[in-house]
Structure 1
Amino acid sequence: MGEALAALRRERGLSQAEAGQRIGMTSQGWGLYEAGRRPGLFRPDVQRRLTGALDATPEALALHTPGAPPASSEPLAVKDVSARGRAFAAAPRLTRRLRLETDELAPWAAAGTVLEYVVGRWPRRGQGCVIQLDDGAFRVRLYDHADDVEVVVGGAGGLDRSERIPRAQVRSVSAITARLDEE
């Protein structure tokens, strides 16, 4: 891949110093990527940064890589993929509803309130969330924060009380997107 980067740079008529200067890098730093002695050349973000300095794309870099398929003037036949510009249409999110059985989140939401949540959408701080535990139980809380050890939420027996749920017990966390007083 380093050879492909060097080939792209030479095609553009740039020295290592000129290419590096475009992204705030020294010629030595650029040379390490071309020599394959600097890790990260296979990372997409690094490829975008380096090829951007050459007014190229990571796809152009891949086509210059030894063993890459030859460029063709005919478009590839691709089925069942649609795109809008460079962004692909995301898969539809699954929306579900859940009726609160208790008043422990009052005044945010009282018993009988129907909550609509999006499975797989992570909540922001202070947003309601539905947490499904490994045992199949659901907890409705106000999201605070999470790390790799635990999920911290509020609303357990009062809005100002926090609860720490071990991450190992959490199957999913989903953001609440609507509160419906009547269904």
Structure 2
Amino acid sequence: MPRFETDPEIRALGEALALLRRERGLSQAEAGRRAGMTSQGWGLYESGRRPGLFRPDVQRRLVAALDASPEDLALARSRQQAAPERPTPMLGLNASGRTFLPAPGGVRRLQLSNDDLAPWAASGVVLEFDPQQWPRRDQGCVIETVDGTVLVRLYEGADSQTLTVRGGEGGLGVVARIARSDIRTVSAVTARLER
């Protein structure tokens, strides 16, 4: 069976689709779920390895999952073409309106001083978090707000306007929605270290 070769134009359109998804703060799994497919299926479109991305019906289905339009996809494609080549892109998530931009730094540590996330993590537990990684559903996340407040919560999901998290005063049963405009950075918790 011959190996599938990706057309540069399809790959570029897939990269524009990935850009739209990241701007909305969605993982491939979340976007795929919204479009009625797996994260792997979504990833194949983004990498240009699944045919059909130039078909209008496929484009409408994919961008609708991102609360966008085919015109938004075309604009994202033109932004990519106009953008100068970036040296080494930084990874991470800093909020800038509805878009999350790269956050500086590597893995960081934070010690919990309360039991807001018990039994997931109790007071005294040290969390390692990575500003270069977006959290998955039910994964811990560290959120820095624009006013400098640091929140540690369990990530539930996101849409174009808000982040949905669990935890805080009252325990893990408390579900909160945080406006993206109030968020500076979102980082995935990668380890819980008990002392």
Q: TM-score, normalised by structure 2?
A: 0.48
Q: Does 1:160 align with 2:164?
A: no
Partner of 1:172: 185
> Separation in 2 of the partners of 1:137 and 1:125?
22
C-alpha distance 109-170 of structure 1, shift in aligned 2 (>3 A): same
Aligned-pair RMSD on alpha carbons? Answer: 3.4
Identity %: 48
Match of 1:123 in 2: 135
Contact kept in structure 2, 1:120 and 1:172, CA below 8 Å: no
Unaligned runs of 5+ in 1: 1-21, 23-40, 53-79, 82-91
CA distance in 1, matches of 2:155, 2:130: 14
Secondary structure, counterpart of 2:172 in structure 1: strand
Contact 1:103–1:111 (CA<8 Å) still a contact in 2? yes
Distance 2:11 2:135 in 1: 28
Q: Does 1:132 align with 2:144?
A: yes
Give runs of aligned pairs for residues 30-109 of structure 1, distance below 5 A: 44-45=12-13, 94-109=106-121
Counting matched residue pairs gives 107
Give the Cα separation in 2 of the matches to 1:114 and 1:129: 13
Q: CA deviation at 1:120?
A: 2.5
Q: What does the per-residue CA deviation read over 1:45-76, in whole Å, with 9 as the maximum and x for residues that have no partner?
A: 47986xx9xxxxxxxxxxxxxxxxxxxxxxxx
Match for residue 163 of structure 2 among 151, 154, 158: 151
* Structure 2: gaps of 5 or more residues: 16-46, 52-86, 89-103
Task: Supply the distance in 2 between the matched residues of 1:46 and 1:133 (Cα, whole angstroms).
Answer: 31
Which residue type is aligned with residue 142 of structure 2? V
Residues 147 and 112 of structure 1: CA distance in aligned 2, closer, same or farther (over 3 Å): same
Q: In the superposition, relative to structure 1, how do residues 94 and 106 fare at CA in structure 2: closer, same or farther (>3 Å)? A: same
Aligned: 1:142 with 2:110: no
Native 8 Å contact 1:99 1:112 kept in 2: yes
Moved over 3 A (4+): 45-49
Is the contact between residue 141 and residue 154 of structure 1 (CA under 8 Å) also seen in structure 2? yes
Structure 1 position 136, deviation (Å): 1.0
State the alpha-carbon separation in 2 of the partners of residues 109 and 46 from structure 1: 38
How far apart in 1 are the matches of 2:175 and 2:151?
13
- Superposed CA offset, 1:24-59 (max 9, x none): xxxxxxxxxxxxxxxxx587147986xx9xxxxxxx
State the distance in 2 between where 1:164 and 1:111 align.
24
Of Structure 1 and Structure 2, which has the larger fraction of its residues in helix?
A: 2
User: d(CA) in 2 for partners of 1:168 and 1:144?
Assistant: 18
